[in-house]
Structure 1
Amino acid sequence: MAGTVARMAAYLRARIDLGTLEPGNKIPPTAALMKQFELSDNAVYRGIALLKAEGYLVSHQGKGVFVGDRRKLIAGESRIAGITQGKSEIIHHKLSARVQAPDWVAAHLGSGECVNRVRTVQRGDFVLQASQSWVHVDVAELVPEIDEPKACDPSWQALYQDRSGNPVKAADKTMDARITTAADREALDLDADFAVLVMRTVYVSGNKVIGVGEGVYAPGHPLSIA
């Protein structure tokens, strides 16, 4: 089944938003994009022109097309400060509930109860990211807002830092890939299995881990490898 210009553009936007294509990086060659998305060269050029108009890409005469520097990635302390990637993105908070920590979370937070917060980030009709955080129950003593299924203003990390007087840092960050789970497909509004990028972050205040997060990114409804 042939691809579409919109699909190719969404794929490149998601890679740029995620950071797998960084400002200054050269985008994949036209021939590679034609093959991946089963598009004509003219269709690829239209998609690139659209992304240029949006500020995602820039051309350098005689050198090619590169990622622009119009946006800042949500990462590290920028994430803690609650910075979003653009006014066109909408965050939907789905859930906040007390749960038993999954094994990989317990390895950081310790076993027992924690607060699980679930949200998605949407741009237009495209669900860009589905994320969860698991927050140590001690945080709720200072930030009771984490038990409510709505946004903390500006973020639970920033509120905890302000109220405790202890800096919160993203102490560890790992990137991996996996085939979508049933929960991933539901959250990202996918109707088939895809390869998705997964970022996990550990938040530390002082010598204590106070939360972990997992973001699952759908890079433009990528090609199925099932």
Structure 2
Amino acid sequence: MAGTVAGMAAYLRARIDKGTLVPGNKLPPTGALMKQFNLSDNAVYRGIALLKAEGYLVSQQGKGVFVADRRKLIAGDQRIRGITQPGETIHHKSSTRVPAPAWVAAQLGEGECVNRVRTVQRGDFVLQASQSWVHVDVAAIVPEVDLPEACDPTWQAVYQDRSGNAVTVSSKTMDARITTPEDREALLLDDDFAVLVMRSIYVTGDKVIGVGEGVYAPGHPLSIS
């Protein structure tokens, strides 16, 4: 009995959502997919085109079709609502009151802030290591920022909901660097690599209430928007 394009797409979509297929995995060749799903080559191409349009797959010229990383390095409302995709989990490491580092103090102001440290993982693979430095005034409205656990979905979203004050990202910068010892420890790396680093500044009105830094695992394809 012949298969269907929808059936093939649904099967692959489910495996990606569950994390059985992870970003960077290469799809089998067309012939193998034809045999697996009992489809013509044209039907396989249409199924792959559908999943590409949905952001599940991406082609690399001369190499094949791969599972895409659908996380976006984004600012604004989407990032404030959360950054994980299906199959990914946030592991909150710590929340500590610390003096603001110099580059953070330049945005947040001198003095104490809350340093929140976490990783985003798919299984045992660390996709991202991030830190936030949050203004202490936020803790009066979102006391959870002082607790060693994740806010649901993010501290920015909770603050916005409880205070009624919109939170936006006033700027976003992206750069690359060679891993620091802290990067290697957080990303579970044994050697030095070049990593992508994104810094974001969160504001409500004209007041900066937080600064974030995300370090992304080397060799992990990312879509930037």
Q: Distance in 1 between matches of 2:188 and 2:28?
A: 24
Quote the residue 1:150 is aligned against.
149
Q: Distance in 2 between matches of 1:197 and 1:72?
A: 14
In the other structure, the counterpart of 1:81 is: 81
SS of equivalent residue, structure 1 residue 138: helix
Identity rate, percent:
65
TM-score norm. by structure 1 comes to 0.69
Q: Is the 8 A contact 1:13 1:220 kept in 2?
A: no
The offset of 1:58, in angstroms, is 5.0
Q: In structure 1, what is the equivalent of residue 174 of structure 2?
A: 175
Render the CA deviation track for 1:177-226: whole Å, top value 9, x for unaligned.
Answer: 1111110000000011111100000000011000000000013379xxxx
> Residue in 2 aligned with 1:137?
136
How much does 1:66 deviate? 7.5
Stretches (4+) displaced over 4 A: 50-54, 63-70
Cα 1:70–1:134 shift into 2, 3 Å = closer
Structure 1 contact 74–84 (Cα < 8 Å) conserved = no
Residue aligning to 2:217: 218
Q: Say if 1:178 and 1:195, in contact at 8 Å, map to a contact too.
A: yes
Q: Partner of 2:58 in structure 1?
A: 57
CA RMSD of aligned residues (A): 3.0
Aligned to 1:108: 107
The count of aligned residue pairs is: 176
Equivalent residue letter for 1:128: L
Unmatched runs of 5 consecutive residues or more in structure 2: 1-21, 30-47
Residues 50 and 216 of structure 1: CA distance in aligned 2, closer, same or farther (over 3 Å): farther
Q: Does 1:94 align with 2:93?
A: yes
d(CA) in 1 for partners of 2:118, 2:93: 5
1:171 deviation in Å?
1.0
- Amino acid aligned to 1:142: I
Output one character per residue of 1:20-63: Cα deviation in whole Å (capped at 9) or x when no partner: xxxxxxxxxxxxxxxxxxxxxxxxxxx53269799322599xx9
Q: Aligned pair 1:48/2:26, yes or no?
A: yes
Cα distance, 1:153 vs structure 2 = 1.3
State the TM-score, normalizing by the size of structure 2: 0.69
Amino acid at match of 1:56: L
The CA deviation string for residues 144-164 of structure 1, in whole angstroms up to 9 with x for no partner, is 000001111121101111111
- Measured in 1, the distance between the counterparts of 2:92 and 2:138 equals 19
Shift, 1:125, TM fit: 2.4
Q: Could you give the per-residue CA deviations for residues 101-152 of structure 1, whole angstroms, max 9, x where no partner exists? A: 0000000000110000000011122111000000000000000000001111
Query: How has the CA–CA distance of structure 1 residues 221 and 189 changed in structure 2, closer, same or farther, with 3 Å as cutoff?
Result: farther
Unpaired segments ≥5 residues, structure 1: 1-11, 15-46
Distance, in Å, in 1 between the alignment partners of 2:153 and 2:186 is 23
Report the Cα offset of residue 65 of structure 1.
Answer: 6.1
Q: Could you say which structure has the larger radius of gyration? A: 2
Would the alpha carbon gap of residues 195 and 74 (structure 1) be closer, same or farther in structure 2, given more than 3 Å must change? closer
Residues 92 and 119 of structure 1 are in contact (CA less than 8 Å); yes or no, is this contact kept in structure 2? Answer: yes
Aligned partner of residue 48 in structure 1, secondary structure: coil
8 Å contact kept, 1:174–1:199:
yes
